[in-house]
């Protein structure tokens, strides 16, 4: 086992979070990706309702099936978690798990 260094981080690295919610296709994943200072952990998959010949509505061929995660540093140096939720009704439990009362929510 390696020794723990002074810069080792255990647990959450952010004190605040911003949650992006809304229907499918409004840009929640795009917002997280655009604002994040770190590589985003994304949950997009190909939409299963598309056929090989069908043109997707609005050109969108993927959909989020979980919570997209990124981080942003505010001007005071505090780390802020950026969370993008899936828009489909069937994933409502995922939204509920990250929309705590203390969260900042962007509609």
In a domain, 55, yes or no: no
* Confidence class for position 11, pLDDT limits 50, 70, 90: low
Residue 39 lies in domain: 16-48+60-106
Look up the pTM and report it. Answer: 0.70
pLDDT above 60 (res 52): no
In a domain, 53, yes or no: no
In a domain, 83, yes or no: yes
- The more confidently predicted of residues 107 and 65 is 65
In a domain, 54, yes or no: no
Helix (H) or strand (E) holding 39: none
């Amino acid at each position: 086992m390696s020794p723990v260094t002074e810069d080792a981080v255990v647990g959450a690295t952010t004190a605040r979070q911003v949650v992006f919610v809304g229907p499918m296709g409004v840009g929640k994943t795009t917002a997280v990706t655009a604002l994040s200072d770190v590589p985003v952990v994304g949950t997009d998959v190909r939409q299963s309702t598309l056929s090989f010949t069908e043109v997707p509505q609005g050109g969108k061929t993927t959909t989020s099936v979980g919570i997209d995660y990124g981080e942003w540093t505010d001007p005071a140096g505090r780390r802020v978690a950026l969370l993008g939720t899936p828009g489909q009704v069937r994933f409502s439990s995922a939204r509920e798990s990250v929309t705590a009362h203390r969260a900042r929510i962007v509609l």
